[in-house]
Amino acid sequence: MATASADNPLKEHATAVTAILSVVGYTVVVGTFLGWVPGTVFPELSLEQVNRLSDAIAAVNTLNVFVIAMGWRWIRRNEVRKHKLAMITSFTLILVFLVMYLTKIGGGGTKEFVGPAFAKYPYLAMLAIHIILSIVSVPVVLHALVLGLTHSERELRTETPHRKVGRIAAGAWLLSLALGVVTYLLLNHVYGWEYVVSRAAALVVPVVV
């Protein structure tokens, strides 16, 4: 007689699914940064459009901080349905962020901090923590999501590490997003920046800044 897990391969192989999705995500992001993804995949962006995307990314991440915080609060109050909706919404916002971010990098470029040393080093420290957390959080976030979508509430509580994984995922991603918003404000609205065209964009058309 077939088991429930056998009827749902995603449920049976949640760890493998997490690993595959993580590798795909890493490959797309790294490939965009290194110019492996053809520049023609992305629209050619002006500096003004890059700035608007930066603003939009910060807005999405700020909203996601609120969504994750509410999801955390709801699960602590045992409001499982609200928690699940919040986490699905959060992951959707992550995907929206990723599309905008890759478009900005692949079709435009990045902005490097230009400011006094007393501000630059804290900025770089926060940026480093933000980047490291966003990288290492990917498989943890994905694993929590896959478990949450493939198991019942009872199974999540008694048969999976969802609670522990979810706590780590939410905490790490929340801190990463918050630091990302702070560094955005320092770079774009407190100090200054220097524009650097990405490799992918430079392969399509030279940009004079």
CA–CA separation, 126 and 175 (whole Å)? 10
- Residue 199 within any structural domain of the chain: yes
- Residue 65 within any structural domain of the chain: yes
- Residue 29 within any structural domain of the chain: no
User: Based on the structure, what is the number of domains in the chain?
Assistant: 1
| 3-state SS record for 104-168 | HHHHCEEEEEECCHHHHHHHHHHHHHHHHHHHHHHHHHHHHHHHHHHCCHHHHHHCCCHHHHHHH
Find the CATH number of the domain harbouring 154. Answer: 1.20.120
Residue 6 has pLDDT above 70, yes or no: no
Please provide the average confidence, as pLDDT, over all residues in the chain.
Answer: 88
Mean pLDDT of the 173-197 span: 93
- Residue 24 within any structural domain of the chain: no
- Residue 15 within any structural domain of the chain: no
Q: Which of 98-112, 119-133, 175-189, 195-209 has the lowest mean pLDDT?
A: 195-209
The reported pLDDT for the residue numbered 39 is 59
pLDDT tens-digit readout, 15-27: 999 999 999 999 9
Mean pLDDT of the 5-16 span: 76
pLDDT tens-digit readout, 137-182: 999 999 999 999 999 899 988 889 999 999 999 999 999 999 999 9
The reported pLDDT for the residue numbered 50 is 92
Could you tell me the residue range of the domain that residue 106 belongs to? 45-204
Alpha carbon separation from 189 to 54, 104, 136, 178, 183 (Å, rounded): 12, 19, 28, 16, 10
pLDDT tens-digit readout, 44-75: 888 899 999 999 999 999 999 999 999 999 99
- Residue 32 within any structural domain of the chain: no
Q: In degrees to the nearest 10, what's the CA dihedral of 149, 154, 156, 160?
A: -130
Residue 4 has pLDDT above 70, yes or no: no
| Tokens describing residue 154 | 């009872």
123-127 own/partner pairs: CB under 8 Å, 24+ apart? 123/183, 123/186, 123/187, 123/191, 126/179, 126/182, 126/183, 127/179, 127/183
